[in-house]
């Protein structure tokens, strides 16, 4: 269970990031331009006992949940928010079907590619340094396969789904002009 200080840090970071993090601001503005509905409580914080994630896009409510019992620092909270907001953007613009494993693979590839999940510093801290020339692609592929594999209906063939979606989804940077 998260302590009160951790909950407050998460809540404050979530509130501040929506107006100060340029990637989040751009994603939210882009979603609005696409006609996506963004409720006032789009970002929520709550305890997520028994879950192996720090944040998730809640497809039933159309918002991002940041787990205040998992996140420890503002940079990690913001990175998780960006990752999950990319999913929200994809669900709005591409009408992702969560039961279609290719759709899931595509949004996971895009989120890993565009969220900063694979920055060298983060990967170094995780102990996942690869060949520097191909590091980013290897990281995106690995993280997408892990995320797709967490979906019960996609799990066994996660690598195959990522392979099938790779070319078009890795090269799809919308709404950014390049990989942030």
Q: Pick the closest to residue 89 from 115, 71, 68 (CA basis).
A: 115
Catalytic residue among 84, 108, 123, 145: 84
- Structural contact between residues 9 and 74, judged by C-beta atoms closer than 8 angstroms: yes
Q: Catalytic residue at 84?
A: yes
- Structural contact between residues 25 and 78, judged by C-beta atoms closer than 8 angstroms: no
Tokens of 103: 């759709």
The residues annotated with a catalytic role in the active site are 84
């Amino acid at each position: 269970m998260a302590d009160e200080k951790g909950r407050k840090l998460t809540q404050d970071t979530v509130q501040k990031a929506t107006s100060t993090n340029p990637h989040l601001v751009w994603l939210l503005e882009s979603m609005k331009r696409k006609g996506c509905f963004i409720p006032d409580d789009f970002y929520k914080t709550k305890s997520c006992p028994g879950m192996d994630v720090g944040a998730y896009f809640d497809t039933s409510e159309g918002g991002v949940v940041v787990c205040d019992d998992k996140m420890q620092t503002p940079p990690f909270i913001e990175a998780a928010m960006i990752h999950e907001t990319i999913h929200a953007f994809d669900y709005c613009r591409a009408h992702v079907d969560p039961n279609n494993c290719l759709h899931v693979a595509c949004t996971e590839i895009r989120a890993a590619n565009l969220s900063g999940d694979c920055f060298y510093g983060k990967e170094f801290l995780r102990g996942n340094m690869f060949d520097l020339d191909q590091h980013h692609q290897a990281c995106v592929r690995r993280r997408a396969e892990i995320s797709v594999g967490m979906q019960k209906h996609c799990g066994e063939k996660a690598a195959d789904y990522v392979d099938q979606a790779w070319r078009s989804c890795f090269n799809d940077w919308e709404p950014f002009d390049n990989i942030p």
